[in-house]
Structure 1
Amino acid sequence: MLRASLKSLFSRKLRLTLAIVAIVLGVSFLSGAFVLTDSLGARFERLFQSINQNVDVQVLLTDDGADEDPLPKITQAQLDAMAAVPGARAVSGDVSAIGVIPFDREDGKPVTTTGAPQLGGGVRGDDPFSLVQLADGRWPSADTEVAITRYTADQTNSATGDRLKVYLPEVNETREFTITGTVVYDGDRDSMAGETMVLFEESFAQRTFYGQEGLFSGAYLAANEGVTQEQLRDQVAPLAPSGFEAKTGDQANEDQANDVQAGLSALTTYFFGPFAVVALLVGIFLIFNTFNILVAQRASELAVFRAMGASWGQVTGSVLIEAILVGIVGSTLGLLAGIGLGLAGSAALTGLIGAQLPGAGITVSATPIILAYTVGILVTLVSAFVPAIRASAVPPLAAMREVSRPDKPLKGLTIAGLVFVVPGLALLVLGLVGSSLVPLLFGSVLTFLGVMIISPLLTRPLAGLIGRVVGWGMSGRLGVRNALRNPRRTAVTSAALMIGVTLVSAASVLGASFTRTIDQTINATVGAEVFIQASTTAGPPGEVGFPDEAVPLIAAVPGVDQVVPMYFSFAAQVDGGAPPFGGTFAVDDLAVARDMFGMKAVEGEVRTLQPGEFVADENTFESRGWEVGQTFPIQLDKGGEEQYRLVGVYEATPIWTDTMILPKAAVANFAGPLAFQGYVSLDDGANTDTVVAGIEDAMVDYPLVTVGDRSALLEQFNGFVDIALGIIYVLLGVAILIALLGILNTLLLSIFERTRELGLLRAVGLNRRGVMRMVGTESVVMAVFGCLLGIIVGVGLGAALSYALIDRDFLTVVAIPWASLIVFVVVAVVAGVLAALWPAWRAARLNVLQAIAYE
């Protein structure tokens, strides 16, 4: 029985290949995401090992020490004590800072990176642990001198002997230095990961970064010959000051690599993860549909086995063994494809950030291997089991008859779908009525699953409607009938596209609603024509921005009426509760900000705040059960709890929801003293472009802030929505690709199933062009059906979520992006045509006589 089954399996090589392709698509993205993470993590670990190759012990900040403000430091005396331990051969202190930004000498603009840090450091010429070596020139020896990496020299268009402008974050000012030399990393690398680095004379760096000489942020030690890393660590550990701990070089390298790995895992989870999930989900449908067709086409063959004495269990078991073999082959190829995707992704990401990581190989851990085989084989088994049971349950004589076996009634599917749809819709209504997102999200998931289950029931009415549009002529009508003859197959084939389009349609509705809300809100409530924004990636608010000294410079620009600097914190906790989702602001004069932003008092007073007072929006006020006049302990980024009295409540709007505002005095306990945003109103008749240019000149020494007009403010807010939608659209691309292959799979397999039918059509006069049109129409109907069903469900769910967000004042309007939805349909039509090209060509090239005689 097994030999016969395997012989039958390998005799149908094309069908076998199509089944394997379905599995490859299902597991390649999943395994590729993990391979990418493992490979980048291993390369970063080798990078740290290369940097610290001469380090046996590192004295580093603990997690608790990293939370202190200011950060603890190692003194020169403590460093000398470590150097005096018997096992130490050499010791060096670390002096470094982030946010040290060089300027391009050609255009005078600050140099930016694609996410890599911009570093500064203090050096001595005799440092045995320096991670860089001189390429030319000499080390800096005076306060006015610097050395830079070769990569930084390229980015700033500078060379040894030139004057270089550098922004120093700790003192928040820009100074000029003379370049005394350029340096490279071990292995003659210009950069580690696309970062810039400026190196100062050590004592100057200490005064600039830490406020005084003789302080270090960490220490490196080398052991005497015969002393192990563990022995030296044990000798140094008692000398590590509070907030620090001694680690072996190997452990420190591993911990640093683990930190990078954690960041890469987040990248996998939040960026590549959705791609893998979508690919796997639609891959499951593709695998199921492929095996369902394969087993259905072998019904007569399996019936012969039954008639020859094979039991029900033998027939089912043979199909499952075939599925295991196909699953193993497909999973292996999928894993190899995933490794290829991981390798390509690693090269693309390192190239994007300009990283020169050691080792360009690939690392494959056990996780992607286990996942690839578990998912590939398990999904294949499940996909084959249901059709195998169905095929073996048909009586042998009935299965061997050359008669049409109509599709089973859809009553069971309808009941199963309603089990999901009814409670899903109930939760959606509950969420909308109660303005609660939790039941709304659960209701969306249940409704989506329910619609997927009952989609075969919707095939005939919806696909039939589509057929009236595209099914012109006899060939077109035949193609429409082919799509409608098996609703289950059409629905499952279209499911991949439906999943992708549902996600994208819902996201598009939310994105369009956010964009329209932002435009309306800013144009209606923000009375500033010019805004100043600190970088959101260079560091936390307060540590990045502009100082109070810059405000008079802005106010002095001709045409400026009023300036409102705004200070920001994510960490404020009121009475031990969670920080407000929208953040905590501080302003110098709330009365001025109130008028500029059109803030309306709901309760109490929204006025200039005195120390120890605060105001909040009505959503925060109501959700937390506060009362005007109450006093609460508020814990900010640093310092202990302080008592603040709630004096007023302002109306919640999309830009002022789940927020609270403190007086300027509270900034002393924010993460830093810098303003994160600034809003500028203009005199009547002032030219906005001229004022923007004037403010840019005034802010030239603060490279981490940008200046723009109202349109730039709208672009910045909408930019976050555009990025999210861009990722969603790529997901749609993945779904379309897999759906296209799924339709191609179904059509190719159905051509085998309808070989005799196609031969008869050709015999009675249907020409090759007509056959191609028939297959093409069938493909377009399936593609557009999946797209329209996805649009209907996605728009409905997106609108429901938008209405819920309106009740929470995150949105003011629900917008339907009709243009995008039309584009989705056009893309589906194109995908359907492309998917039909090869099957249509094969169908048109069938030999008429052989097709009529086909068994």
Structure 2
Amino acid sequence: MLRASLRGLLSRKLRLTFAVVAIVLGVSFLSGAFVLTDSLGARFERLYSSINQNVDVQVTLTDDAENDHPQPRLTQQDLDRLAAVEGVDGVSGDVSALGVVPFDLRDGEPVRTSGTPQLGVGVSGQDDPLRLIEIAEGRWPSAGSEVALSRYTAEQAHAGLGDRIKVYLPGAPAATESTVVGIAVYSGDRPSLAGETLVAFPLADAQRLFYGQTGQYSGASFRAAPELSQQELRDRMAAVVPAGFEAKTGVQANADGASEVQEGLSQLATYFFGPFAIVALLVGIFLIFNTFNILVAQRTRELALFRAMGASWGQVTGSVLVEAVLIGLVGATLGLLGGIGLGYAGSAAVGSFGGSQLPDAGVRVGVVPVVLAYTVGVLVTVAAAFLPAMRASSVPPLAAMRDVAAPDKPLRTLSLVAASIALPGAAMLAVSLAVGTSSGYVIAGIWIGMALVFAGLGLLSPLLTRPVAGLVGRAVAWGVSGRLGVANVLRNPRRTSVTAAALMIGVALVSAASVVGHSFTTSIDRTVTATLGAEVVIQTDLSGVPGETGYSEEALRQVRELPEVERMVPFWVSRQTRAEGSTPPFGGTFAVEDLTVVRDMFAMETVAGTLRALGPGELATDENTAKTHGWQVGDTVRLKADKGDAQPYLLVGIYEATPILTDTMFVSKSAIQYFAGPLVYQGYASLDEGADADAAIARIEQIMNDFPLVRVGDRASLVDELSTLVDTALAIISVLLGVAILIALLGIINTLLLSIYERTRELGMLRAVGMSRRGVTWMIVTESVVLSVFGCLLGIALGVGLGVVLTLALGNIDLLNTVAIPWTNLLVFVAVAAVAGVLAAVWPAWRAARLDVLRAIAYE
């Protein structure tokens, strides 16, 4: 039986090719995420090793201390005590800060990077063998108005020696100008490590600018005497390291730095490649199932002969599963190779992106991607082939003596099973939505209910074949050939529905996400339009830390003094404030000057208490936050912000939650002493009647010119800001649709090719009675278009339903307030599916139209 299975598999290798492709795509994305992460991790390991090659011990913040605000610092006395440890042969204190932004001399705009840090460091003029950078041109800065730039930074800022350059530091009231006296490079004459910008200040000035006082360091690096190992020096220094810091060997510090980067890269790769792998494998299951189902149906006589010759049902089942295992192994192997290629391409792209100078470390393939590739590839293939294998074993021996096609089983049992799954799911959804809270049980009920409805409606799809596919057929069936194509689709509802299911799943997922995304952007747009009484919005980039980035009160005063500005409402923001004993921070805690002005500008509705001017130690919050924590007006709440201990606040007012004011709270301006910094993070300006909004925006932009992370715009810009993440997610989802359509297209091609194979005699008879090659081509094209559009329509119907359920669930917690159906997007999905159907028919139609008529008639 094994030899027979292998021989049969080799004879049908072309028909199984597309099933292999589905596994290849899924496994490629899955393994590619791990290969990319490991390969980039290897590059960063080599990077850290090269830049810290002279460092034997590093004293750095502990993991707990890194989350403190303000973070602990090494004093000059601490550094001297560490340097006095026996065996220390060199020391370099670390003075650095993030968010130090130089301005371009050419256009006066801030220099931007592609997500890499913008660094400021403090340097001393003396020789420092542990310093990461060295002067290539000019000298080190020594006076307070002097800086040195990395070569990459100088290129981006179009600055050279002797130029005056403007630089912004986080927390500073304004950008300052300094003279460029040096151009620095990293070891190996590298202008940059990973596309970051770097500005070097004199050591004492950097300490004052970054930390507020001199004699402060964020860490330090040490070199050991030649006779001492890294471990020995680390052990000696561990006894004198101050609280909040720890000593690591240079090797361990390099590994930890690379591991931290690798962890972030792993999450990014997983979130990017993961959905593609899931969709590819999920859609691929239907393609493989349908392929084996058709092949088993075509091999009825062959399998019955095996039974008649004495093969047991287990041997017949095993023979089909052996074919599935072999296909899974081939697909997994090719998918792993594809994943290695994706990982290498991604590593190369990141390594050369944005001026990056990451060292090359080749491709690193760990154990995890190999094991996952073969485990997932084989399991998915075997799982998809299991039911066809069981069907193969049920072929009676007498079937070998007859040439009678087994009729499809009635759909009554399938309908009962589908209803028994879908109806409880629908009931669970209804109850969960009626409860209308965000508790774990309700969320679980919604997800389980959607999964049951999804599965049940998927099983019901054969029942929808004749009405829905027939309706599609009437729209595209032109002439006799078109009607015959539609009849071919309707003759086997099970096969049609399984073929269409691959596209249905992909389109359903994309449609559901599109409904939620469109509902979100529409809700935000309507909420902002209906409630925000400000024509100008001043926003700080989300990448910045509120309080440390933003704009000064002096800039705020200048905006208020503009003649066209009627009112200006500033927000000081904390993203780290949390209730004592509660782990997640609130979505936003806003310190304001007068809540009554905010109330009027944002059309806030009072639910309980009063929305009045807040005094010190008072707060107001939205109804969802109050309900979640069980708060009522008059309660005292202890809140821990960015710095300092938890403080008591009296809850004086509760307001109605909206999509832009949920999981939020307001406190008085006096609370900003506990925020990360004093800078204003957001601002909303209402203008006098008849004022020119564009002119006002231009004037405010001039005022904010010294603050590189601040953007000025109108209400539409606020909507765009809030919708950015949704737009990015929808862009990725659109690519997911492409992957789903590609695999579904392969499934349609496979089904048509196998269908042509079993209808060879029928096609020969049609040609014999006068159907032209063009007629045969149009018949196959009609079949393909009906299949693809049928699957797309089922997917849209299912996806819109799921999207509406998710939108209603989010509406229960006031994250959304509108159900919006993206009809244009859905029509585009249908058009794309129709085009995909035409493309899928090209090869099968070409083969069907060129069958030899006499041989086809004589075919058995």
Say whether the fold is shared (TM-score over 0.5): yes
| Aligned counterpart, 1:97 | 97
Paired residues for 1:378-397 under 5 Å: 378-397=379-398
Paired residues for 1:48-67 under 5 Å: 48-67=48-67
| Aligned counterpart, 1:463 | 469
In 1: Cα distance, 2:793 partner to 2:582 partner: 45
In 1: Cα distance, 2:809 partner to 2:269 partner: 30
What is the identity, as a one-letter code, of the residue corresponding to 1:749? L
| Aligned counterpart, 1:785 | 790
Kindly provide the CA deviation profile for residues 98-125 of structure 1, in whole angstroms up to 9, marking residues without a partner as x: 0000000011011111211100101234
Structure 1 residues 295, 160: closer, same or farther in 2, change over 3 A? Answer: farther
Paired residues for 1:585-624 under 5 Å: 585-624=590-629
Aligned-residue offset at 1:580: 6.5
Task: Please say if 1:668 is aligned against 2:673.
Answer: yes
Paired residues for 1:321-720 under 5 Å: 321-359=322-360, 361-436=362-437, 438=443, 439-537=445-543, 539-577=544-582, 581-720=586-725
Kindly provide the CA deviation profile for residues 655-677 of structure 1, in whole angstroms up to 9, marking residues without a partner as x: 22232111111111112222210
The answer to whether the 8 Å contact 2:148/2:181 transfers is yes
| Aligned counterpart, 2:750 | 745
Paired residues for 1:96-495 under 5 Å: 96-125=96-125, 126-359=127-360, 361-436=362-437, 438=443, 439-495=445-501
Kindly provide the CA deviation profile for residues 310-360 of structure 1, in whole angstroms up to 9, marking residues without a partner as x: 232222222222222222112101111111122222233444444221115
Kindly provide the CA deviation profile for residues 784-837 of structure 1, in whole angstroms up to 9, marking residues without a partner as x: 111111111111121122223333322222111111111110011011111111
- Structure 1, unaligned stretches of length 5 or more? none
In 2: Cα distance, 1:348 partner to 1:850 partner: 54
Aligned-residue offset at 1:246: 0.2
In 2: Cα distance, 1:377 partner to 1:808 partner: 42
Aligned-residue offset at 1:529: 0.6
In 2: Cα distance, 1:305 partner to 1:427 partner: 48
SS in 2 for 1:647: strand
- Structure 2, unaligned stretches of length 5 or more? none
| Aligned counterpart, 2:29 | 29
Q: Which moved more, 1:177-186 or 1:347-356?
A: 347-356
Aligned-residue offset at 1:575: 4.7
The answer to whether the 8 Å contact 1:580/1:659 transfers is no
In 2: Cα distance, 1:231 partner to 1:484 partner: 79
Q: Which moved more, 1:555-564 or 1:824-833?
A: 555-564
In 2: Cα distance, 1:581 partner to 1:487 partner: 52
| Aligned counterpart, 1:815 | 820
SS in 2 for 1:91: strand
The answer to whether the 8 Å contact 1:756/1:852 transfers is yes
In 1: Cα distance, 2:348 partner to 2:455 partner: 38
Structure 1 residues 367, 353: closer, same or farther in 2, change over 3 A? Answer: farther
Kindly provide the CA deviation profile for residues 28-54 of structure 1, in whole angstroms up to 9, marking residues without a partner as x: 211112212222222122211121111
Aligned-residue offset at 1:399: 4.3
What is the identity, as a one-letter code, of the residue corresponding to 2:49? Q
In 2: Cα distance, 1:626 partner to 1:490 partner: 56
The answer to whether the 8 Å contact 2:756/2:844 transfers is yes
The answer to whether the 8 Å contact 2:110/2:708 transfers is yes
In 2: Cα distance, 1:361 partner to 1:754 partner: 51
Q: Which moved more, 1:59-68 or 1:802-811?
A: 802-811
Kindly provide the CA deviation profile for residues 298-317 of structure 1, in whole angstroms up to 9, marking residues without a partner as x: 22222222222323222222
In 1: Cα distance, 2:588 partner to 2:299 partner: 63
In 2: Cα distance, 1:386 partner to 1:44 partner: 47
Aligned-residue offset at 1:578: 5.1
Q: Which moved more, 1:733-742 or 1:102-111?
A: 733-742
**Coordinate RMSD, CA, aligned:** 1.8
The answer to whether the 8 Å contact 2:43/2:359 transfers is yes
In 1: Cα distance, 2:558 partner to 2:174 partner: 14
Task: Please say if 1:761 is aligned against 2:766.
Answer: yes
Structure 1 residues 341, 415: closer, same or farther in 2, change over 3 A? Answer: farther
Task: Please say if 1:836 is aligned against 2:836.
Answer: no
Aligned-residue offset at 1:457: 2.3
Aligned-residue offset at 1:372: 0.8
The answer to whether the 8 Å contact 1:170/1:208 transfers is no
In 2: Cα distance, 1:19 partner to 1:793 partner: 25
Q: Which moved more, 1:573-582 or 1:750-759?
A: 573-582
In 1: Cα distance, 2:17 partner to 2:267 partner: 35
TM-score by length of 2: 0.96
The answer to whether the 8 Å contact 1:26/1:282 transfers is no
In 1: Cα distance, 2:21 partner to 2:484 partner: 28
Structure 1 residues 369, 589: closer, same or farther in 2, change over 3 A? Answer: same
In 2: Cα distance, 1:212 partner to 1:400 partner: 96
The answer to whether the 8 Å contact 1:60/1:219 transfers is yes
The answer to whether the 8 Å contact 1:33/1:276 transfers is no
The answer to whether the 8 Å contact 1:115/1:353 transfers is no
The answer to whether the 8 Å contact 1:744/1:839 transfers is yes
Aligned-residue offset at 1:612: 1.1
In 2: Cα distance, 1:592 partner to 1:74 partner: 44
Structure 1 residues 495, 186: closer, same or farther in 2, change over 3 A? Answer: farther
The answer to whether the 8 Å contact 1:43/1:359 transfers is yes
The answer to whether the 8 Å contact 1:193/1:356 transfers is yes
The answer to whether the 8 Å contact 1:10/1:16 transfers is no
In 2: Cα distance, 1:684 partner to 1:22 partner: 61
The answer to whether the 8 Å contact 2:75/2:217 transfers is yes
Structure 1 residues 564, 182: closer, same or farther in 2, change over 3 A? Answer: same
The answer to whether the 8 Å contact 1:573/1:634 transfers is yes
In 2: Cα distance, 1:324 partner to 1:533 partner: 56
Q: Which moved more, 1:234-243 or 1:796-805?
A: 796-805
The answer to whether the 8 Å contact 1:570/1:579 transfers is no
Q: Percent identity?
A: 63
The answer to whether the 8 Å contact 2:174/2:552 transfers is no
